[in-house]
């Protein structure tokens, strides 16, 4: 009798709390997928397209829960002349995101590239000495992070600081300030906005053992010194002509086991043109596997595509003869990669 009563109670509870009607339904768009997975799904934002292309703006705001200013927050964009700031494009990206309930990744505070000429020339010709350069870097970080305090979920504090040989990258920062500039940058960013998540971000970190090892060494050193570092960013720039990085999940775990949250920050999957159905199918598989790797690691919180449309992809300008790297084509029509992302589920 007791067993019968327990069975009846269980049956009643099952009837009283039915499964959600949409539990097995494919999400309608990436924003719904984001809610289902509990992972921010984002895109880099071309500020010019945001301002001037209504169709681009509509799709961006419909599909994504997270955005990254592709170029508008880089140093050469916001301070092209020393002490003369141009916040118009960066502010527009932030305003649009906040209006559309999108979280924001700040990109990037310290990089060896896209620096204003006044800064690189001054550091290289000696007219800006080490002490002044350190002061300039601190002011830059404090000014930019401070401007968006409370509005940016996460910052790429240092970007691509490890070279392809597994050494600290040669840059004006390393040459004139030494390796301590990395810890300083994190400390200053935290001081400017204590609530923002602070990341180290790099390319080929999904598979390059030299780069992985050096980045792990940097993270462990920063944590040992109690430097505020919160996240690891895997850029995720892949090409279908290369094997998919099959050990990516294990690599991500090595970093998240150190207490970091993780994000795939700049995902795209390029191919040698022209695109074919077979190539697009392989691309779709690569995108799905990247998102799945994120979803299966409970500390991975973000999957951002480096421009959702081929109309504004950086790839053709950097990789001769390659392209079609995004999840939508030039007309904003979803590709097989888009549909593949919608099929990802938590286990």
Residues acting as catalytic residues: 160, 266
- Three-state DSSP at 347 gives coil
Q: How far is CA 90 from CA 77, 86, 144, 184, 302, in A?
A: 9, 8, 10, 24, 21
- H-helix or E-strand spanning residue 119: helix 117-125
Residue 198 β-bridge partners: 155
Both structure tokens of 98? 């906040």
The three-class DSSP label of residue 212 is: helix
Q: Element (H or E) spanning 231, and its range?
A: strand 231-234
* Cis geometry, peptide bond prior to residue 274 (ω within 30 degrees of 0): yes
Instruction: Work out the number of other CB atoms within 10 angstroms of the CB of residue 1.
Output: 5
What is the C-alpha separation between 302 and 122, in angstroms, rounded? 37
Q: Which residues sit opposite 135 in a β-bridge? A: none
Most distant pair of Cα atoms in the chain: their distance: 90
Cα separation, 50 vs 84, whole angstroms: 24
Structure tokens at 36: 């289902």
DSSP output for 36-82: HHTSEEEEEE-HHHHHH-HHHHHHHHHH-SEEEESSTTSHHHH-SBT
């Amino acid at each position: 009798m007791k067993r019968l009563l327990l069975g009846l109670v269980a049956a009643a509870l099952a009837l009283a709390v039915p499964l959600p009607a949409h539990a097995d339904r494919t999400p309608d768009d990436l924003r719904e997928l984001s809610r289902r997975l509990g992972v921010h799904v984002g895109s880099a934002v071309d500020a010019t397209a945001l301002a001037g292309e209504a169709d681009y703006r509509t799709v961006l705001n419909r599909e994504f829960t997270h955005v990254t200013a592709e170029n508008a927050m880089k140093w050469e964009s916001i301070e092209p002349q020393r002490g003369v700031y141009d916040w118009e494009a960066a502010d527009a990206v932030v305003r649009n995101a906040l209006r559309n309930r999108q979280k924001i990744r700040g990109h990037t505070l310290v990089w060896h590239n896209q620096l204003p000429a006044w800064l690189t020339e001054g550091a290289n010709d000696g007219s800006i000495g080490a002490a002044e350069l350190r002061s300039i870097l601190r002011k830059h970080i404090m000014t930019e992070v401070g401007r968006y305090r409370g509005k940016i979920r996460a910052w790429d504090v240092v970007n691509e600081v490890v070279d392809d040989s597994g050494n600290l990258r040669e840059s004006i920062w390393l040459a004139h300030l030494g390796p301590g500039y990395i810890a300083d940058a994190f400390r200053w960013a935290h001081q400017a906005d204590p609530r923002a998540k602070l990341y180290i971000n790099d390319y080929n970190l999904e598979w390059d053992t030299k780069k992985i090892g050096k980045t792990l060494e940097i993270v462990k050193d920063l944590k040992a010194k109690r430097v505020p570092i919160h996240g690891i960013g895997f850029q995720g720039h892949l090409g279908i002509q290369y094997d998919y990085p099959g050990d990516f999940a294990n690599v991500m775990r090595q970093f998240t086991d150190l207490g970091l949250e993780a994000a795939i920050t700049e995902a795209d999957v390029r191919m040698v043109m022209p695109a074919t159905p077979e190539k697009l199918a392989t691309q779709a598989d690569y995108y799905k596997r990247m998102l799945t790797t994120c979803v299966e690691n409970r500390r991975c919180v973000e999957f951002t595509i480096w421009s959702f449309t081929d109309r504004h992809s950086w790839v053709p300008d950097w990789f001769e003869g390659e392209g079609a790297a995004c999840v939508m084509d030039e007309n904003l029509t979803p590709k097989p990669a888009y549909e593949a992302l919608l099929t990802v589920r938590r286990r």
